[in-house]
Structure 1
Amino acid sequence: MRKKSFKLALALCFMTALAQAQNPGSNHGNRFEQLGTMLTDPNEYRSASGAPGPKYWQQRADYDISATLDDEQQKLTGAETVTYYNNSPDPLTYIWLQLDENEHDLKSDNNSFDGSTMSEKMSMRTVNGILGNPGSKQFGVNIVKLTDESGKALSYTINQTMLRIDLPQTLQPGQKLRFKVEWWYNISDRMVQGGRGGYEYFPDDKNYLYTITQWYPRLAVYSDFQGWQNKQFTGRGEFALTFGNFKVSMNVPADHVVGATGECQNYKDVLTAAQFQRWQQAQSAKQPVEVVTLDEAKKALAGHANGRKTWVYEAQNVRDFALVSSRRLVWDAMATNVEGKKVMAMSYYGPEAYPLYNRYSTKVVAHTVKTYSKHTIPYPYPVAISVEAANGMEYPMICFNYGRAEKDGTYSETTKNGMIGVIIHEVGHNFFPMIVNSDERQWTWMDEGLNTFCQFLTEQEWDNNFPSGRGPAYKITDYMKMPKDQLEPIMVNSENIVQFGPNAYAKPATALNILRETVMGRDLFDFAFREYARRWAFKHPTPADFFRTMEDASAVDLDWFWRGWFYGIEPVDISLDSVKWFRLDTKDPQTSKAEAKAKYDHAADHISRARNKAAGMKFAVDQDTSLQDFYVKWNRFEVTPEDKAGYDTFSAGLTPEEKRLYESKKNFYELSFSNVGGLVMPLIIEWTYADGTKETDRISAYIWRKNENHVSKVFAKDKEVVGIKLDPQRETADIDESNNSWPRVVAPSRFELFRQSQSVRGASTGGNPMQKAKK
């Protein structure tokens, strides 16, 4: 694990202190303070309610792109005309473009700023990285020409993955700029160089699968809250992008199939008559139709066709454009009704993925857009595509996933569920951040966390037994109990996160699920979450907009929750310290004297007394009866007539309300709790009664507001309690369940008796039951 720098550790300590110590030294006034200055101030662009303000604005960029894919040299050449609209109130003297392919340039910082070590076993990829990738191609974007629309050269500067165009004239508010760029780059081997896009080579059939992503010079975001978002792309923090319209012409080998963002404008020109007929059939099909069949894909693998074709795609109001191109693709499609609108759910996949993708992929795509639409806004685009490319990455209307079968067509359950989960996740990214367009490079959780939460909802609606890896509260506890020097708040820039998956995906998804199920309730949460999606669809929200909207639309004060879960690193660990049982003193002498006798006998019962009696010891008072006075024979627990008369007088003076209380025979239980972990949460208490029945009480987290460390609470119960358990359904992410029960419950662990053996190095573990059954 990488260690944080001293500066980063100091900054995180300060951030945590700021989040948790508004009132240092006090046991209250910290965790429930309003966020105040921790959020950006509302203004005319972003209102205090979390909605866009009356003067909200955002830029726009339209692209007309022509590109050529060289399948022999693995090279892409392109030319684009960009129209940029300055909708801001600011005059601009320069603009910034992103050149993401430059992340592969060996001179980029991201290829050197991570630490490295030597080990006994090292992969060729790791060694080549240390050696500077000798013999590799030149990677990165090569700008051939950059001009205004009349062809006059524009001055520009490239700083790693960012390109600045210095404008010859100031671009005033309300004006637009049209310019042209010509460029080329060598496509990287995604399986070797890594990255989001590139190619994968299949040596068995000597073909390539191209996933062309982040491939054209594209506008960075200029916004009201930060100006230019020109933070370098290092491969982790993803994107902040500007919405616009695209027309893309992609020239590829004639036997390639191309799937892309948007809608193809010339299927008749690029498909065979039979394929186009199947495409027409898919427009109303209830089951996926193979537009390009498995047999056709296998035939294309056998021999490369001569000639080339140009596929033309258009997309409206999207923030990016990506595509897949290969001759080794099956393509299926079916029409899906999403809240009254037809959406074409489609999948592209190679023969090795056919057993899984042909059965599941397109149906998972359809399920995803329907479910997300229910929880956010109706899916607005005409298509949604899943591509099997042995990875997981998302772009508008198209995403790249994994899920390949064994050569005999079988697959493991883990592979199947992993494939379904990644398709849901990547298709779901259409909503976050492709539509609700947050800045992923600055706040990864607004993209990955919100999407992982919706992924969990969608997985559970797919199959009630789906083994979701992220979402259930108890699954985040291993992360939250880690040493604090290995943690950082969710509200940290994506480049500075050590445990990236738990921090940016799992913890925010878990937090939202806890909000929905435990803190707010489904009705309030679902309304507020949909309102956030509605308000910020096709706009650029910030964390403050999300936090404020969730409160504004629900009337639930959540500042304590954001403070703890998003700005802090404290875990949940609430301890049930003690239980005290009380009953009302009935004043009935029959009861009180019987209880007194039992107490007296218990106090007098000790080991020496019992053993003396068992030994037949002769006691002095028994041997000499003169020692037996009044008190030896006196029954101190006898109910006297005076006792009865006193009780009758007491009973006669009771009010009806008091009498009902005495007759109720209530049991009062005083429970004491400690906030061991520091993160305040509701108290969820399950009572088990002597008759075997159970009951659950839920107490708001606000019980901690006056003492954030210790609280006591008294409960009145009609029945006698024999067991108490905190958080019985594991819904608060409590990291230590051993202190959650009364009486304390020790959970058993198992050990295994085995004979020592030595396995063959490299042998796989687990199994493929489908394959075994087939044999």
Structure 2
Amino acid sequence: MKINKVFLTLLLAGAALAGHAQTDGNPSKYDQHKVFTPLFYQQNGNQYRTAGGAPSSKYWQNRADYKISISLDTIKHRVDGSVNITYTNNSPDGLPFLWLQVDQNIYREDSRAQATSVVTGGRFTNKSYTNGDEIKGVYIINNGKAEKADYIITDTRMQIRLKDSLKANGKKINIKIDYGFEVPEYGTDRMGRINTKNGWIYEIAQWYPRMEVYDDISGWNTIPYLGASEFYLEYGDIDYTITAPANLVVTGSGALLNPTEVLTVTTQKRLAEARNSDKTVTIRSEADIASKTSYPNKASLTWHFLCKNTRDVAWAASKAFVWDAARINLPDGKKALAQSVYPIEVSGQDAWSRSTEYVKNCIELYSKEWFEFTYPVATNVGGIVGGMEYPGIVFCDWKSKAGELWEVTNHEFGHNWFPMIVGSNERKYAWMDEGFNTFINKVDTKVFNNGEYYQKQDAQREAPTMFTPGADAIMNTPDVIQNDYLGNAAYEKPALGLTILREQILGEERFDYAFRTYIKRWAFKHPTPWDFFHSMDNAAGEDLSWFWNEWFMGTMTLDQSVKAIDYVDGDASKGSLITIENLGEMALPVTALIKEDNGKTGTVKLPAEIWERGGTWTFLYKSTSKITLVTLDPDHVLPDLDPENNSLSGQEIDKNVTAASVIKAYLDAIGGADKVKSLKDMTINSAATLQGTPVQLITKYKATDKFEYDLTAPSYNNYVLLHVKGLGDSVSLVQQNTPVNTPKEYQHLLSNRFGFFPELDYGKAGYVLTLDNRMHAINGKMAYQISITHPDGSKMKAYFDKQTGLKLKQVNDTPNASPTEFDDYRDANGIKVPYDSKTSILGVAVEFKASSVSVNTGLKDEEFK
């Protein structure tokens, strides 16, 4: 499932209020004994699961085969029918009772999910109610005879109590359940229906009673369905029929078995063409929607699907669907079909008309990289659901466009590997599907269409949000994780961990071999976290218990620091002794970029094991001249909470340089203080992409104390992510379309962050400027650091290029504040303005590119009230 963090709690770019970023002088928190504990693994292999992370010789899992027959009533918006379940008990245990999931009960007003939802609502909160699963009859079928079963329903679970235990080692039982339910309009963003100009779109999931998993770890897995946690299901074949009005297009998981009965000859020909085409072929056009000849001349049709060796199926239906498709080429030479169905309102090359291209490419890339796609069809449905995955079919927000549509499509189809192929327990371990999937999404996006939507990750900028105070450990059930941190704990943090393993610890070749081994071992089986950890350790040939311990089990943080630069016998030509410190709790490898006075540069890579004996390490660097700069993690691949101490300069600052002279040099560099003071107003239009979503930033200033910062998502009806408006001492704030009350002290922070050329005020009474006694490195450029204390006591730091005088970076001196970096200065009516600014929003690195800068356009004071 896709978490679009645009709609989670917004951390202001450069103005966050909570956190615990390290500061100079803080003592180290590091304790190597807590990281490199020898007691991380406390279980041995057994007859079911080996110590090496593979299924053992006597591994077993039960099986559930389904035959489902239902009808869709588009007047009453109901699904009614029956399901026949053949359940095979492959366990060594007799089963006196069986447990099933009846997930439609989450939509009842008296559901446990409703009782445990916060009053402020959220993505998984009911917006309306139904009667849930209306169970009309439960029967045990024995020798063709139906006998009423003894059953009880508790919220989203049904227990069937058997007269005689279901015997072990392959014995079967047949169950028949008659049921029905009303389709909710909003089904906790996993299913639902929406009315478009050409009719309702139905996205149907969790739509039949399903067997709970009985395994060798917990026995029956009966965690209730509360919304955030997803599913844990048995594998089997699912044969299902859907009877619906004839003018509807129905698509679902698996293969359509009766195309000649439900499709016209023309539609069949177009499908045949698509199966042989690498380019998208239209199957059903806008003209076909209104044409009565585009479907068989009957009142209703029954669509028959079969999905083999699957844990679930889902389907969609609508008379509003346009439909296109193309061929998928799989590594072993087999072919599959990529297809998309969506309303005509969202067609277009910047939107859903490229959906099938996205589907085809992500399936081909994942199949080549990790494990071959196993379903005959991959279908993307545009409807009300923001992003949800099922075997061979996904539901994506019909309003998604461009990179946003690629991202959600790529993410949801990535789930066909985790957890559809590798069947982990999503109810307990969301990170084993969401985190693994987010990781492969990033690998895939880097390759797709030569990186069309790729954005290099900046882990340093993401660190304050990923390691925020109150963060939950990855190893938690999703319902325990706080709503505004689920995106980090289940998605981004485990994905970053795998990226670090792949790129910094194991290397791509070793990691990829181990990861593929894990997938192959556990395809269509039920792994635990320990199976994953053991499998990666053994296949990669590395004891990674220290990494699993620090990254997945707790909330340790990272803060690497350069402490000192010394020379052998005081002579730089004999070599340099560079001392680094580990100030946080976490151990990770070190990459140090070293620059010498003679212009030479070098890179030193050190393994995480340097931290086994403590938090300080000194290494020898074969220098030939004095060291001008040492920078740790120069490419920002690690989530270091305090990158300010990642660099140490060997250069001494000229005694003639002062804070005042640095500020003067900056003002001179951008055009001179007098020129800046003569500005009446300025408007900057910028754009960026946030998690695939285009965002627009309009910044306005009017001398001397008026500003407006307007950040919106145009594709979401100009959804206001952040709007800050200031007039003198009065500042107003809107986050996520909601006005926010701003305390007086917070208004000062906003003014300091968003104000107009604040350097003009630094010479006034009440300001205190302090020049740091060492040079700093900002993206490879040597810079002066000035700490500014405002008259109200608030603080910030700014960094100015030693060579050009231009401002390179600024950050409010508040915990977890996101720095802003500046580049690409261009002339705007005699004043140099940065056209490129980098910051982070929601912990995601964002780069704003200015498209225009307008000066002295006559902005009125009223615009800032």
How high is the TM-score relative to the length of structure 1? Answer: 0.78
Aligned to 1:688: 595
Q: Residues 389 and 402 of structure 1 are in contact (CA less than 8 Å); yes or no, is this contact kept in structure 2?
A: yes
Aligned to 1:95: 98
Name stretches of at least 5 consecutive residues in structure 2 with no aligned partner.
1-6, 10-28, 652-658, 671-681, 683-698, 723-847, 853-865
* Alignment of 1:221 onto 2:128: no
Quick one: distance in 1 between partners of 2:270 and 2:294? 23
Aligned to 1:754: 701
Quick one: distance in 2 between partners of 1:470 and 1:165? 52
Q: Residues 685 and 725 of structure 1 are in contact (CA less than 8 Å); yes or no, is this contact kept in structure 2?
A: yes
Equivalent in 623, 632, 635 of residue 726 of structure 1: 632
Aligned to 1:442: 428
Aligned to 1:45: 48
Q: Which amino acid aligns with 1:741?
A: S
- Are residues 571 and 27 of structure 1, via their aligned partners in 2, closer, same or farther at CA, if it must alter by over 3 Å? closer
Q: Residues 189 and 387 of structure 2 are in contact (CA less than 8 Å); yes or no, is this contact kept in structure 1?
A: no
Aligned to 1:73: 76
Equivalent in 527, 535, 540 of residue 541 of structure 1: 527
3-state DSSP of counterpart to 1:30: helix
Higher helix share: 1
Deviations 1:492-532 (A, max 9, x none): 11111111001100000000001101111001000000000
Aligned to 1:661: none
Q: How far 1:28 sits from its partner (Å)? A: 3.5
* Alignment of 1:700 onto 2:607: yes
Q: Residues 35 and 559 of structure 1 are in contact (CA less than 8 Å); yes or no, is this contact kept in structure 2?
A: no
Quick one: distance in 1 between partners of 2:356 and 2:295? 28
* Alignment of 1:431 onto 2:407: no
- Aligned pairs for 1:468-617 within 5 A: 473-483=459-469, 486-498=470-482, 499-583=485-569
Q: Which amino acid aligns with 1:146?
A: V
- Aligned pairs for 1:734-753 within 5 A: 734-743=640-649
- Aligned pairs for 1:324-473 within 5 A: 324-339=316-331, 340-355=333-348, 356-390=350-384, 391-404=386-399, 415-466=401-452, 473=459
Q: How far 1:719 sits from its partner (Å)? A: 4.5
* Alignment of 1:36 onto 2:54: no
Quick one: distance in 1 between partners of 2:410 and 2:626? 48
Larger radius of gyration: 1
Name stretches of at least 5 consecutive residues in structure 1 with no aligned partner.
4-24, 406-414, 586-664
Q: How far 1:575 sits from its partner (Å)? A: 1.0
Q: Residues 351 and 402 of structure 2 are in contact (CA less than 8 Å); yes or no, is this contact kept in structure 1?
A: no
Aligned to 1:152: 147
Give % identity: 32
Aligned to 1:710: 616
Aligned to 1:604: none
Quick one: distance in 1 between partners of 2:33 and 2:720? 52
Quick one: distance in 1 between partners of 2:581 and 2:30? 16
Q: How far 1:2 sits from its partner (Å)? A: 13
- Are residues 48 and 302 of structure 1, via their aligned partners in 2, closer, same or farther at CA, if it must alter by over 3 Å? closer
* Alignment of 1:671 onto 2:618: no
Quick one: distance in 1 between partners of 2:189 and 2:412? 16
Quick one: distance in 2 between partners of 1:507 and 1:240? 22
Deviations 1:173-196 (A, max 9, x none): 121001100000111011xx6341
- Aligned pairs for 1:70-219 within 5 A: 70-116=73-119, 138-149=130-141, 150-173=145-168, 174-190=170-186, 194-202=188-196, 204-205=197-198, 207-219=199-211
- Are residues 300 and 695 of structure 1, via their aligned partners in 2, closer, same or farther at CA, if it must alter by over 3 Å? farther
Quick one: distance in 2 between partners of 1:737 and 1:464? 31
Q: Which amino acid aligns with 1:384?
A: A
Q: Which one is further off, 367-376 or 323-332? A: 367-376
Equivalent in 228, 233, 238 of residue 246 of structure 1: 238
Q: Residues 353 and 404 of structure 1 are in contact (CA less than 8 Å); yes or no, is this contact kept in structure 2?
A: yes
Quick one: distance in 2 between partners of 1:290 and 1:529? 37
Q: Which amino acid aligns with 2:446?
A: Q
- Are residues 176 and 469 of structure 1, via their aligned partners in 2, closer, same or farther at CA, if it must alter by over 3 Å? farther
Quick one: distance in 2 between partners of 1:389 and 1:688? 54
* Alignment of 1:286 onto 2:278: yes
Q: How far 1:480 sits from its partner (Å)? A: 3.3
3-state DSSP of counterpart to 1:46: coil
Deviations 1:612-638 (A, max 9, x none): xxxxxxxxxxxxxxxxxxxxxxxxxxx
Q: How far 1:682 sits from its partner (Å)? A: 0.8
Quick one: distance in 2 between partners of 1:479 and 1:766? 17
Quick one: distance in 2 between partners of 1:301 and 1:472? 54
Equivalent in 307, 310, 315 of residue 307 of structure 2: 315
3-state DSSP of counterpart to 2:438: helix
- Are residues 537 and 26 of structure 1, via their aligned partners in 2, closer, same or farther at CA, if it must alter by over 3 Å? closer
Q: Residues 197 and 213 of structure 1 are in contact (CA less than 8 Å); yes or no, is this contact kept in structure 2?
A: yes
- Are residues 563 and 425 of structure 1, via their aligned partners in 2, closer, same or farther at CA, if it must alter by over 3 Å? same
- Total equivalences in the alignment: 643
Quick one: distance in 2 between partners of 1:753 and 1:217? 56
Deviations 1:272-301 (A, max 9, x none): 111111111112112111122232135479
- Are residues 329 and 70 of structure 1, via their aligned partners in 2, closer, same or farther at CA, if it must alter by over 3 Å? same
Q: Residues 108 and 129 of structure 2 are in contact (CA less than 8 Å); yes or no, is this contact kept in structure 1?
A: no
Q: How far 1:382 sits from its partner (Å)? A: 1.5
3-state DSSP of counterpart to 1:33: coil
Higher strand share: 2
Q: How far 1:370 sits from its partner (Å)? A: 1.7
